[in-house]
Amino acid sequence: MSEHTGTQSAFGRALLPIAAPEQPLRADAQRNRRRILDSAAQLLADEGVAGLTMDELARRAQVGKGTLYRNFTDKAGIASALLDDRVRDMHARMLQGPPPLGPGAPGSERLAAFAEAYIRHVSSNLDLVLLTEDSSPRGRFDRVGYPFWRRHVEILIEEVRADDAQLRAEAVMSVLSAAQLEQWLRIEGHDLEDLIPRVQGIVISIADS
């Protein structure tokens, strides 16, 4: 997932960066990778991120260390793959699903719907997202999916307000960052259902101030 292509909107411009398909794996390699990810998901549910060790994962998946490390070099790589699995449905709904998350609604409504969907995605996978971001000096900016999210927000902001769309998109993504959500939800103790509409209001104000 190191390259990106662009889908095209009805107006012919590049809409969103989409990860290019990877080279297909052999059937046995696919089975091993799937077994590792399924075992990682179960291990995460049982023990949390602290219990997601490479040794325990190899034991649970019943694969050799060499097989495990050929697929994933570290915990952050496993976390990234698990997140990729879990976000595909949201990607599809953003690109082709019904409005307001999908096409067909005004930009401000789609932006609010994205904020809610993204907050729910990050909050339900918070430890995994934090693990992938903490593994890189540049945090979320080094995540493969980050350009996808930021470009989506930028396009929606362009529909709401033409100027400084890229800067405003970066500001929105900082409000929705895993570290910020951790602060609000875990440290300050805000309720998720109460927080979502309040953050939606902040996001819209950034887009349209």
d(CA 67, CA 35): 11
Using one digit for the tens of pLDDT, what is the confidence trace for 169-199? 999 999 999 999 999 999 999 999 999 999 9
d(CA 185, CA 146): 22
Region 125-138: mean pLDDT is: 86
d(CA 158, CA 141): 21
Using one digit for the tens of pLDDT, what is the confidence trace for 23-46? 566 778 889 999 999 999 999 999
Q: How far is CA 75 from CA 13, 36, 57, 109, 121, in A?
A: 37, 12, 10, 37, 20
Per-residue pLDDT band at 8 (split at 50, 70, 90): very low
Contact yes or no for 150/169 (Cβ under 8 A): yes
Residue percentage of the chain with pLDDT more than 70: 88
Alpha helices in the chain (DSSP H): 27-47, 54-61, 65-71, 75-96, 107-124, 126-134, 146-160, 165-175, 178-182, 192-208
Q: How many CB atoms lie within 10 A of CB 116?
A: 16
Region 1-6: mean pLDDT is: 35
The residue with greater pLDDT, 9 or 179, is 179
Q: How does the average pLDDT of the chain come out, rounded?
A: 87
Using one digit for the tens of pLDDT, what is the confidence trace for 52-104? 999 999 999 999 999 999 999 899 889 989 998 889 999 999 999 999 999 99
Report if pTM > 0.85.
no
* pLDDT score recorded for residue 180: 96
* pLDDT score recorded for residue 23: 55
- Could you tell me the two tokens for 130? 């934090």
* pLDDT score recorded for residue 203: 97
d(CA 23, CA 195): 41
* pLDDT score recorded for residue 22: 52
- Could you tell me the two tokens for 157? 């902001």
Contact yes or no for 157/181 (Cβ under 8 A): no
Using one digit for the tens of pLDDT, what is the confidence trace for 132-172? 888 777 878 877 788 999 999 999 999 998 799 999 999 99
Q: Is 93 exposed, middle or buried (0-12, 13-18, 19+ CB in 10 A)?
A: middle
